[in-house]
Amino acid sequence: MARALRIVLCTRGGLQGALVLDRLMAIPRAQVCGMVLSTRTDGPKSGFVEGAISRIRRSGFAYAAYLWLSTGGAELALRISGPAPVALRARRAGIVLRATRCVNDADSLAFVRSCAPDLLVSAFFDQHIGDELSGTPALGAVNIHPSPLPRDRGVDPVFFAMLRGERNLGVTLHRIVPAWDAGPILATESVHREADESVLRATARLYDRGGVLLGRHLDALAAGDPGAAQGDEGCYDSWPTREQVAALRGKGLSLAHASDLWWRPIPDDKMELEPNR
pLDDT tens-place string over residues 107-149 = 999 999 999 999 999 999 999 999 999 999 999 999 999 999 9
**80: confidence class by pLDDT, cuts 50, 70, 90:** confident
Residue 275 placed within a domain: no
Given a cut of 90, whether residue 261 has pLDDT beyond it is no
Q: What is the pLDDT of residue 190?
A: 93
Identity of residue 98:
R
Number of domains in the chain: 1
Q: 270 lies in a domain?
A: no
Q: How does the average pLDDT of the chain come out, rounded?
A: 89
Evaluate whether residue 173 is within a structural domain: yes
Nearest Cα to 137, choosing from 273, 2, 10, 277? Answer: 10
The radius of gyration computed from the CA coordinates of the chain, to the nearest angstrom, equals: 18
d(CA 156, CA 58): 14
272 domain-assigned: no
Q: Which amino acid is it at 191? A: V
49 confidence band (pLDDT: 50, 70, 90): low
Q: Report the distance separating Cα 47 and Cα 19, nearest Å.
A: 26
Question: The domain containing residue 246 runs over which residues?
Answer: 5-262
Q: Is residue 273 part of a domain?
A: no
CATH code: domain of residue 216: 3.40.50.170
Residue 74 within a domain: yes
Q: Quick one: pLDDT at residue 275?
A: 33
Residue 232 banded pLDDT, cuts 50, 70, 90: confident
Q: Is residue 146 part of a domain?
A: yes
pLDDT (0 to 100) of residue 111: 97
- Mean pLDDT, to the nearest integer, of 268-272? 43
Q: What whole-number percentage of the chain has pLDDT above 70?
A: 91
One-letter amino acid at 82 equals: G
Q: Using 50, 70 and 90 to split pLDDT, how confident is the model at 235?
A: confident
Greater confidence, 272 or 158? Answer: 158
What pLDDT does 179 receive?
87
Percent of the chain with pLDDT over 90: 68
Closest to 146 measured CA to CA, from 134, 155, 137: 155
**Model confidence at 268: pLDDT above 60:** no
276 in a structural domain: no
Sorting pLDDT into bands at 50, 70 and 90, what band is 72? confident
